[in-house]
Structure 1
Amino acid sequence: MTLARRLFLLVGVIATTAGFAVIAGVSLGLELTDIFLGLVAALAALQGLRYVQRRRDTSMNTTVTGDPEARIAVPIPGSDFDDDLVSAAGRRTRWAARERVVDRLEARARAALVARGGRAPEEAAALLDTGGWTDDPVAARFLGASVSVPLRQRVRLFLSGKSSLTDRAERTIAAIERIGTADGPAGERR
């Protein structure tokens, strides 16, 4: 510690002690006059200038904040099913993706038959195998039932220009949504 620093420290301690004594009411032979208040103010100003001078030589530390408008990518529900449906239409991964689509829809249909159709799991599996779970032959055949699709429906699909896989998947999803809400083979309400 340098001599100047020790001197400033000593003067600061004495001034602080004298200030506390005056506030506490101890009489040190000094009256609270304008001269005494001027000395305290001068010491405070000198100490403040000393701290300001020391801070001038230090480097500035700043914090960089991120962009408050940055969006976080959140997964979209069902996007993996959509990806499988698109892959099933492609040439390279067609069969594996098609099986994933059919398996997923079959599981959803079985769960809907049990939850909303009031069926037992074994009965739901039998309905899926026979196609009796829906009135739509396209949806029944898509999930593996041996049901014939009318020629009129095949011609309509051919003329629509839509992908047959996409159309069959959409019709199956619509049939699953109708389970338990419509009066049909598997949609009876209890």
Structure 2
Amino acid sequence: MTLARRLFLLVGVVATAAGFAVVAGVSLGLELTDIFLGLVAALAALQGLRYVQRRRETPMNTTVTGDPEARVAVPIPGSDFDDDLVSAMGRHTHWAARKRVVDRLESRATQALVARDGRAPEEAAALLDTGGWTDDPVAARFLGASVSIPLRQRVRLFLSGQSSLTDRAGRTVAAIERIGTDDDSTGERR
């Protein structure tokens, strides 16, 4: 037995004997409440020290909790179009990706002409073929119309330092957004 265990055993035996003596009515010169309070205080102090000592010897255990704000991967609208646009600028997938970009923008322009401008699908296709759906010659030519681009705009595109494909696609998207609004550059509602 260790010394601490022997000490606890001795204190326990003395406390038990004192308890029996108090119950039997033996008066040790103190009143019952003083003895009782003293014994309870001593036992509480010893028990507290014992638990503190036991806790010192135990290793610390920790719990790892999960991240409460785990984000769910959500697809970003238009990211596939951006991917097609980036791959259209590459060397190996240039033509197929460019065709996907043009087809998608052509489809959106047709949908916008039908939904927002009140055109029939055949009329919308004819407007796309002639370039009459927009006043922007760059956007009209990008979707296949045989419209000439003024020299000044060609020089501006060349000097801008941007990829001509992204600039033309951006202008086409802007022209599609303007379909059916009152702020067309001609001033008339199509």
Q: How many residues align?
A: 165
Residue 102 of structure 1: CA displacement? Answer: 1.3
- Structure 2: tracts of 5 or more residues without a match: 17-24, 26-30
Residue 59 of structure 1: CA displacement? Answer: 0.7
Query: For residue 104 of structure 1, what is the aligned residue in structure 2?
Result: 104
Structure label with greater radius of gyration = 2
Query: For residue 174 of structure 1, what is the aligned residue in structure 2?
Result: 174
Query: For residue 188 of structure 1, what is the aligned residue in structure 2?
Result: 189
- Superposed, which structure 2 residues align to 1:2-41 within 5 Å? 33-41=33-41
Residue 101 of structure 1: CA displacement? Answer: 1.5
**Stretch of structure 1 that moved more, 128-137 or 148-157:** 148-157
Mapped pair 1:139 → 2:154:
no
Distance 1:52 1:156, change over 3 A: closer
- Structure 1: tracts of 5 or more residues without a match: 16-28
Measured in 2, the distance between the counterparts of 1:147 and 1:41 equals 102
Residue 119 of structure 1: CA displacement? Answer: 3.5
Residue 76 of structure 1: CA displacement? Answer: 5.9
Q: Is the 1:137–1:147 Cα contact (8 Å) retained in structure 2? A: no
Residue 64 of structure 1: CA displacement? Answer: 6.1
The one-letter amino acid paired with 1:47 is Q
Residue 165 of structure 1: CA displacement? Answer: 1.7
CA RMSD of aligned residues (A): 4.2
TM norm structure 1: 0.63
Measured in 2, the distance between the counterparts of 1:99 and 1:154 equals 22
Query: For residue 21 of structure 2, what is the aligned residue in structure 1?
Result: none
Instruction: Indicate the percent of aligned positions where both proteins have the same amino acid.
Output: 81
Q: Is the 1:131–1:137 Cα contact (8 Å) retained in structure 2? A: yes
Residue 159 of structure 1: CA displacement? Answer: 5.2
Q: Deviations over 1:95-139 (max 9, x none)?
A: 122122212222332333244323455543443344332122321
Measured in 1, the distance between the counterparts of 2:51 and 2:132 equals 88
Give the secondary-structure state (helix, strand or coil) at the position aligned to 1:33.
helix
The one-letter amino acid paired with 2:88 is A
Q: Is the 1:142–1:168 Cα contact (8 Å) retained in structure 2? A: yes
Residue 89 of structure 1: CA displacement? Answer: 1.8
Query: For residue 148 of structure 1, what is the aligned residue in structure 2?
Result: 147
Query: For residue 113 of structure 2, what is the aligned residue in structure 1?
Result: 113
Query: For residue 85 of structure 2, what is the aligned residue in structure 1?
Result: 85
Residue 180 of structure 1: CA displacement? Answer: 1.8
The one-letter amino acid paired with 2:137 is P
Q: Is the 2:131–2:147 Cα contact (8 Å) retained in structure 1? A: no
Q: Is the 1:139–1:171 Cα contact (8 Å) retained in structure 2? A: yes
Query: For residue 21 of structure 1, what is the aligned residue in structure 2?
Result: none
Between the two structures, name the one with larger relative contact order (CA 8 Å, sep ≥ 6): 1
Q: Deviations over 1:121-169 (max 9, x none)?
A: 554344334433212232122123x322145244554455543322321
Q: Is the 1:84–1:98 Cα contact (8 Å) retained in structure 2? A: yes
Q: Is the 2:142–2:172 Cα contact (8 Å) retained in structure 1? A: yes
Residue 91 of structure 1: CA displacement? Answer: 0.9
Residue 49 of structure 1: CA displacement? Answer: 1.8
TM norm structure 2: 0.63
